[in-house]
Amino acid sequence: MSSIELKPTIEADEWRTAQSQFDEAAELIKLEPWLRDVLREVQREFTCHFPVKLDNGHTRIFTGYRVQHNINRGPAKGGIRYHPDVSLNEVKALAMWMTWKCAVVNIPFGGAKGGIIVNPRELSLNELEHMTRRFATEISILIGSDRDIPAPDVNTDGQTMAWIMDTLSMHLGYSAPATVTGKPLEVGGSAGRVEATGRGVTICAVAALEHLGRAPHQTKVVVQGFGNVGSISAKLLEEAGCTIVAVSEDYGGIYNPLGLSIKRVLEYRAREKTLKGFPGAKEVGNQDLLTLDCDLLVPAAIGNQLTSRNARDVKAKLIVEGANGPTTPEADAIFRERGIFLVPDILANAGGVTVSYFEWVQDLQSFFWSEHEVNQKLKAILSRAFNEVLKTREERKLDMRMAAYVQAVSRVAGATRERGLYP
Ligand code: NAD
């Protein structure tokens, strides 16, 4: 069956994508069959259905998940997402990607992820806090500073992390800041964490441009998603000299082929709570945005945006994946065939987990670093990882995704092999 004939629902199954990427890497490194069986499954998957009392006095039942894919290299690490489309398969895939992400940048964590099926915009702040605290209690049997450490993801932020940290601390009877990362500075957060994922995207994009022999000031950029990752990536890429021609949120985006001032877009969005109506820009739909004329495309919203339906129409010659899983295997094959240079999610957006690791280390030591120190250490780790992946790509004649997978899967397999099978 050709990729075009695949039903979009199958193509859009993140767990199928994650497993097929792993299978390809396992084959490339001739991984032993028993390790393939272990690593292509998640270790633990937890589902809970829990009640929350709403402001109107009614009770609503929510469904949430926490999945740990592999904890052989250290405690599990991964974000918590609030979105109506959250599913167990999506959370499993995101947990597996976290394992590879931590391994590709060589930080001592395993992979986890969590989520609640909810549109947070439908809840009041009070309801959101109650839902978060009850979910934190449900997953408290799994999480902890030496076991599994959550962080922000889609529709969750520092406030969400502060509520989770406070809930766990109340259970313990003392403050336990190292149980979550991405917290506000006041409760043990790290300088530079809010910007870390976008900063990592920018470090990878600039390194890729350099490899391709293109200067940032010759580079037109489209960014899908204008949340934490998208807006910071746009801001820092502009500071690096690129021209940002389009940005978007879930309802659509804005486009100006001559460039948008991201500072002004941020001010406008803060004031108007929308990108719509930004002066001097045309409106553009999220699908059309992906195929606009540009040199660099940064998908920084949600998964499955680049598929067999639009991959041939993408104009960018460089794609840097800010989001997790934005590209299906079918689209990946088309990009490979078209010679598009793609920096994969497990490398491109690893800046977030890297600074989360710094935050965890600072919390455990109760000794905090300056933002300059954080940014310097982040740059050193990401630049080294980028160069290692590039070297593997060239030595083994692979694309960047498979080169990153070869690095990551080899490291996790090595740890799993050394530890052996219990009992
Ligand atoms: P966020 O909630 O801050 O922002 C998400 C953005 O995507 C918003 O602008 C939203 O309007 C937009 N969006 C949602 N649905 C969309 C759709 N259907 N089409 C277009 N835009 C849509 O979330 P975030 O933290 O910026 O995460 C974005 C992506 O980056 C996710 O895939 C996440 O897993 C990944 N990521 C985040 C971090 C982090 O540190 N926050 C780290 C690594 C990876």
Topology match between the domains 44-178 and 196-348 = yes
Residue closest via CA to ligand 1's atom 43 equals 349
Q: 375 alpha carbon to ligand 1 midpoint, in Å?
A: 22
Of 289, 341, 333, 314, give the one whose Cα is nearest residue 11: 333
pLDDT digits over 333-375, tens only? Answer: 999 999 999 999 999 999 999 999 999 999 999 999 999 999 9
The answer to whether 196 and 352 are in contact (CB under 8 A) is: yes
pLDDT digits over 184-235, tens only? Answer: 999 999 999 999 999 999 999 999 999 999 999 999 999 999 999 999 999 9
The answer to whether 79 and 152 are in contact (CB under 8 A) is: yes
Residue closest via CA to ligand 1's atom 33 equals 323
Q: Choose, from 92, 101, 113, 235, the residue flagged as catalytic.
A: 113
**What percent of the chain clears pLDDT 70, i.e. is strictly above it?**
98
Whole-number mean pLDDT of the chain?
96
C-beta 326 within 6 A of ligand 1:
no
Q: Where are the domains of the chain?
A: 44-178, 196-348
**What percent of the chain clears pLDDT 90, i.e. is strictly above it?**
97
pLDDT digits over 236-295, tens only? Answer: 999 999 999 999 999 999 999 999 999 999 999 999 999 999 999 999 999 999 999 999
Q: Look up the pTM and report it.
A: 0.96
Quick check: 5 pLDDT over 80?
no
CATH superfamily name and code, 196-348: NAD(P)-binding Rossmann-like Domain (3.40.50.720)
Rounded to an integer, the average pLDDT of 120-130 is 98
Of 421, 357, 411, give the one whose Cα is nearest residue 389: 411
* pLDDT at position 11: 85
Residue closest via CA to ligand 1's atom 3 equals 227
For residue 423, is the peptide bond before it cis, meaning its omega torsion is within 30 degrees of 0?
yes
For 106, the token pair is 């060589």
What gap in Å lies between CA 243 and CA 236, rounded to an integer?
11
What gap in Å lies between CA 139 and CA 247, rounded to an integer?
35
Quick check: 7 pLDDT over 50?
no
CATH superfamily name and code, 44-178: Leucine Dehydrogenase, chain A, domain 1 (3.40.50.10860)
